């Protein structure tokens, strides 16, 4: 099902998209305005379900729906709004209207209902379309009242309205995640997205900045069992917060509020490399080269700044929705870091190679570079900068080649040639070794 989500509040839009994109059955796209939504719908090749706010500039949600219905007559609609829509029944006929904040179960039921309705025959007469050719009058009010008319508490509620109780798209979409609506200081926990060594990990909304963040929370069990855990947790967060590099996810702040010790950091919707490999996902040469470059840039920064850091692992590398790589913040306390350049480069090679089709790069030079990176037993690279220099020379050419379509048959032929080269090289090494023993 193709879903288009439209809201001019970027934080709320992001939260909706994050939840819906967790369901593999949904192709979910987003837009922050009506005109942008129409362009997005065209690039999507149609829309099955529109989820849109009503009060938006320069085009309101009602008008947007009517424009899209003239193009995609089977489209279903869910309107979301913080205002009473009872006076606009003419424009919401055959649509679902959800008033913010709404519950997880309510949204799940709406999405499921419209997904099921797609199987029904499409009527030639679109309900709610007749006689509504003119622009629709909607309330000319904004989400947040003027500052002088609202108390700090009211302003806080206006900023967090809707975002704080938005759910994941379905229980299957967010497997093992628990929808929440808990306030922790300046943050609203939206839902649990995992666990790590310290405790649970949440997706949260930072209300003061209207942005999604990941929040790591120190578990009560660890805090009770280890009296020094709280101090150590905050010290590590402080060490990570000192890291400032575009390749490495930023730590925003750490502290205590409402009975919890937490660390809030940059959130990137995407996939970890180890999880992608486990699911059998693959990447092309361009993405592979980009991963190597981004990780090399991040670790070169750490080495240059003599910042103690943990060793590299595949789960520390995340590929965003736009296939842009990101590196989890690896900073640790002084005296606790790992410093094995060759081993880290070899791990990077293994993580990338595991995602290439048949473990072979189509580009011979990239394949040769990854092979050299994998030799952890001897120093092929004297520094991360030396690796960075080589991948920077390769990446522009690989990216250009990726922009020219290549057939699956041609890709298979390239990989077959690379495998043949490897087999011949192995045989030659074996023969040389045998002759060496004889002599």
More confident residue, 18 or 228: 228
What predicted TM-score, i.e. pTM, was given to this entire model? 0.56
Task: State the CB neighbour count (10 A cutoff) for residue 152.
Answer: 8
Task: State the CB neighbour count (10 A cutoff) for residue 380.
Answer: 17
Task: Give pLDDT, residue 177.
Answer: 43
Closest C-alpha among 286, 360, 353, 359 to residue 325: 286
Task: Give pLDDT, residue 102.
Answer: 66
Q: Distance between terminal CA atoms of the chain?
A: 69
Task: Give pLDDT, residue 167.
Answer: 29
Pairing of strands 27-31, 2-6: parallel
DSSP string, 178-220: -EEEEEETTEEEEEEEEE-SSSEEEEEEETTTTEEEEEEE--H
Q: Please give the average per-residue pLDDT across 197-221, as a whole number.
A: 90
CB 204 within 8 A of CB 216: no
143 pLDDT more than 80: no
**pLDDT per residue as tens digits for the range 302-350:** 999 999 999 999 999 999 877 899 999 999 999 888 888 999 999 999 9
Q: How confident is the model at residue 213 (pLDDT cuts 50, 70, 90)?
A: very high
How many CA atoms, within 13 angstroms, populate the side-chain half-sphere of residue 79? 26
Task: Give pLDDT, residue 112.
Answer: 80
217 pLDDT more than 60: yes
Task: Give pLDDT, residue 404.
Answer: 43
In the beta sheet, which residues pair with residue 200?
195
Q: Return the residue matching tokens 């960075």.
A: 388
Pairing of strands 317-320, 270-272: antiparallel
Q: What percent of the chain has pLDDT over 70?
A: 74
Task: Give pLDDT, residue 403.
Answer: 45
Q: Which of 36-50, 107-121, 148-162, 240-254 has the lowest mean pLDDT?
A: 148-162
Task: Give pLDDT, residue 103.
Answer: 61
Any residues with CB less than 8 A from the CB of 210 and at least 6 apart, and which?
9, 10, 11, 159, 163
Q: What percent of the chain has pLDDT over 90?
A: 45
Pairing of strands 211-217, 96-99: unpaired
Sorted by where each starts, the structural domains of the chain and their CATH numbers stand as 2-144 (3.40.50.2300), 176-266 (3.30.200.20), 270-425 (1.10.510.10)
Torsion of CA 409, 412, 414, 420, to 10 degrees: -140
Q: What is the residue-averaged pLDDT of the chain?
A: 79
CA distance 273 to 355: 8
**pLDDT per residue as tens digits for the range 229-267:** 999 999 999 999 999 999 999 999 999 999 899 999 999
Q: How confident is the model at residue 64 (pLDDT cuts 50, 70, 90)?
A: very high
Task: Give pLDDT, residue 85.
Answer: 80
- Tell me if residue 327 falls in helix, strand or coil: strand
More confident residue, 208 or 408: 208
Closest C-alpha among 320, 213, 319, 217 to residue 261: 217
**pLDDT per residue as tens digits for the range 86-96:** 778 878 888 99
Task: Give pLDDT, residue 409.
Answer: 56
**pLDDT per residue as tens digits for the range 363-385:** 999 999 999 999 866 668 989 99
Task: State the CB neighbour count (10 A cutoff) for residue 398.
Answer: 22
Torsion of CA 407, 413, 416, 422, to 10 degrees: -100
Q: Please give the average per-residue pLDDT across 205-222, as a whole number.
A: 90
Task: Give pLDDT, residue 119.
Answer: 67
> What long-range pairs does 126-131 form, CB within 8 A, spacing at least 24?
126/69, 126/73, 127/93, 127/94, 128/90, 128/91, 128/92, 128/93, 128/94, 128/95, 129/66, 129/69, 129/70
Q: How confident is the model at residue 398 (pLDDT cuts 50, 70, 90)?
A: confident
Q: How confident is the model at residue 425 (pLDDT cuts 50, 70, 90)?
A: low
408 burial (CB, 10 Å; 0-12 / 13-18 / 19+) is exposed
175 pLDDT more than 80: no
Any residues with CB less than 8 A from the CB of 71 and at least 6 apart, and which?
41, 46
Task: Give pLDDT, residue 219.
Answer: 92
């Amino acid at each position: 099902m193709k879903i288009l989500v439209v809201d001019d509040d970027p934080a709320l839009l992001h939260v909706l998209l994050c939840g819906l994109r967790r369901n593999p059955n949904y192709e979910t796209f987003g837009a922050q305005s009506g005109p942008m939504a129409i362009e997005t719908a065209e690039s999507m090749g149609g829309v099955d379900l529109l989820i849109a706010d009503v009060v938006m500039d320069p085009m309101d949600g009602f008008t947007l729906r009517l424009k899209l219905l003239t193009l995609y007559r089977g489209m279903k609609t869910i309107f979301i709004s913080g205002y009473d829509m009872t006076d606009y029944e003419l424009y919401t006929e055959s649509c679902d209207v959800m008033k913010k904040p709404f519950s997880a179960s309510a949204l799940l039921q709406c999405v499921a209902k419209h997904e099921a309705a797609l199987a029904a025959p499409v009527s030639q007469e679109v309900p709610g379309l007749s006689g509504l050719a003119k622009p629709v009058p909607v309330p000319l009010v904004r989400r947040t009242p003027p500052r002088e008319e609202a108390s700090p508490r009211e302003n806080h509620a206006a900023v967090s309205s809707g975002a704080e109780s938005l759910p994941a798209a379905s229980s299957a979409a967010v497997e093992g995640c628990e929808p929440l609506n808990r306030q922790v200081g300046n943050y609203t926990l939206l839902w649990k997205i995992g666990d790590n060594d310290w405790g649970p990990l949440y997706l949260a909304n930072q209300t003061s900045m209207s942005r999604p963040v990941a929040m790591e929370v120190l578990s009560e069990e660890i805090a009770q069992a280890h009296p020094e855990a709280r101090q150590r947790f905050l010290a590590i967060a402080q060490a990570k917060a000192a890291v400032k590099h575009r390749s490495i996810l930023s730590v925003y702040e750490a502290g205590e509020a409402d009975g919890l010790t937490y660390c809030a950091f940059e959130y990137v919707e995407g996939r970890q490399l180890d999880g992608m490999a486990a699911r059998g996902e693959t990447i092309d040469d361009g993405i592979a080269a980009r991963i190597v470059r981004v990780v090399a840039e991040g670790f070169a920064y750490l080495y240059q700044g003599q910042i103690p850091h943990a060793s590299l692992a595949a789960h520390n590398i995340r590929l965003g929705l736009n296939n842009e790589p990101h590196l989890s913040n690896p900073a640790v306390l002084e005296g606790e870091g790992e410093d094995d350049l060759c081993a880290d480069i070899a791990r990077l090679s293994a993580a990338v190679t595991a995602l290439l089709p048949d473990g072979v790069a189509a580009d011979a030079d990239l394949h040769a570079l990854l092979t050299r990176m994998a030799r952890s037993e001897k120093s092929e690279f004297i520094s991360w900068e030396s690796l960075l220099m080589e991948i920077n020379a390769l990446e522009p050419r690989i990216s250009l080649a990726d922009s020219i379509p290549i057939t699956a048959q041609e890709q298979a032929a390239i990989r077959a040639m690379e495998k043949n080269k490897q087999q011949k090289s192995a045989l030659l090494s074996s023969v040389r070794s045998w002759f060496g023993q004889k002599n």
